[in-house]
Structure 1
Amino acid sequence: MGYSYVDYNGYQQIGVSYVQATLQDSRRCSAEKAYLRKAQERGNLKIIKKALVTKVIINPITLEAEGVKYERDGMYYTAKARKEVILSAGAFHSPQLLMLSGIGPRYHLSELDIPVLKDLPVGQKMYDHLSFPELVITLNESIVFKASSFGINEFKKYFSNQPSLISTLGGVEALAYLNLNLTNRNPTYPDVELIFMGGGLHSDFGLITRKTFRITDRMYNRIWKPIENENACQILPMLVHPKSYGYIKLKSKDPHVQPKLYGNYLTDAYNEDVRTFIASIRAIQEIIQTPAFQRYNAQLLDTPVPGCELFRFDSDPYWECALRHLAVTLHHQVATCKMGPKHDPEAIVDSSLRVYGIKRLRVADASVIPLP
């Protein structure tokens, strides 16, 4: 189809690539394993496990962060900061901590009787990457992952630090970044990612993967269960730069209570997210018709999504119905503590990750990423 092989973490993203991963000795390697674990014996680092930070201590006169309060085993403690407090609690809990500490939208903090120290739009915008897992491709040869692929030998390889199927990223083998020229006219700027899986939600008989997507029994039993013993793979489209966005609110001023998350997916005013998704489905259908796929008689499974049977399968209205029934989050939430210049009314932190209006306080995690 004319796409080049690229390093999608490099200068140019438009094109195709084998999936990249952070691995060490053929196993997934997290930032904690790569950096924090190696530094845990340093004299200037103290790691306290099973502790929950409940609040940033901020001087109400000087608006200076002085430390944090935390709870561990039912006891409450205070940790004082000599230099700065740096929050790295993630896209959900960094904004939660800021709001619990009096940094956030005045109207929302007032609703919970939290004294307002700094009126900032914390949590008021939350972008996410939405995907669509229903595009199943049946094949006439056994070239895909099945439950039997993950036998005892694969586990022996994995625990011996040898390359194994268990090291794959959820069965993902390749990615493609495309510009479909719908809402984005910059030809170097991708608007969709195609995720090529070597199997599908049926490959583990619905025991694990589909549950991570919160696919209901009704959906799974209709679409994937009948092909559990068939040769099939999947291509999942993902919106790289959605126009829709949600937000976060506190449910309670109790730090043990999880915040409320509002995804607001597929709600942009001009329905651009749905149109881009449908265009990505058409691109996948073109890919399926290429000689590389037709070598294995690739066919798109035409089982309708429950709730969309009244629409003609493969029509645009059908796909919009299917998207609204079955689109899933890939949990790439960002922008809840948005980084931006001082004149940006949505910005929470500056380019050095310092919280506006509060001294000695920074946020350093995915919440500061301004756009998906």
Structure 2
Amino acid sequence: MNTTRVDNALIRSLPKAVLHDHLDGGLRPATVVELAAAAGHTLPTTDPDELAAWYVEAANSGDLVRYIATFEHTLAVMQTREGLLRTAEEYVLDLAADGVVYGEVRYAPELNTRGGLTMSEVVETVQEGLAAGMAKAAAAGTPVRVGTLLCGMRMFDRVREAADLAVAFRDAGVVGFDIAGAEDGFPPADHLAAFEQLRRENVPFTIHAGEAHGLPSIHQALQVCGAQRIGHGVRLTEDIVGGKLGRLAGWVRDRRIALEMCPTSNLQTGAATSIAGHPITAMKDLGFRVTLNTDNRLVSGTTMTREMSLLVEQAGWTVDDLRTVTVNAVKSAFLPFDERNALLRDVVLPGYDAALRTSPRA
């Protein structure tokens, strides 16, 4: 019987993988303050601690559209080469400090062009910053690999342009694609041409679906657009009654389509009502390939360690459960098969074994 004490120290030491995390939602508060001062942008407060609290409070609206509106101030400081380099580098270092060994960061380059950079220049600059962060993390003995997902904003008209950039930069650190933004009223099939182009070019993609809109959004993302993963997908539970799976839920489970679930974020946007009752636990127990994610670390005031701790404390998760969602994430990463296997074999599984060997018993 495993009697390991699952406390924050143990959780912090575990190797982690995150597939759903937005670059513009994860800045350091102090960095936002400094860059905003340099850009002449007015913030709600210039105290980093107060700003961090403001983000979380503003995002706790229960409404996805208002949640997204909090990004005004982070995007304002990500319009220059200097701002992008710094925020991308710090993003990687913050993942490494949290024990993340593999991460996929996503952002929409069209939102970073107000300062005169082209979308292509934005991507080049972010990749440069991410590479600098990975080099520093490796030198510090906390290596982390970070791949990039480029996003198109589903409410606007540059989705195909972003998809073309994903194709162009796929040998330079971009591992996939996504569409983001307000889900309700902007169905994924509106951008079918972009997804067809990505499939022709063998570029994998995920789609935000089943967060602010229900089963039709998930069905369209999978069966019309061809997504390989689903961002959030919490409303797939509408196709599960008394533990019996409907045809769509069965399709998702049986074909091992990863669900990128983000508990704290889902509480903020009203997609879930509690950590204890979040669909991630029930769907894990039903055999879905659920993954655990942060979504927006600044906006949600969270980290992977915190997300794991909340599930342990409020939903009764064990170390085995944490291992399961980490393995699920690595298996579903937009990496070549042999690289996923090596990450599991050489990093994730030995890391869990080492943490358990050195941890106190309950």
Same fold (TM over 0.5): no
Larger Rg: 1
TM-score (norm 2): 0.23
Q: Which has the higher helix share?
A: 2
TM-score (norm 1): 0.23
Q: Which has the higher strand share?
A: 1
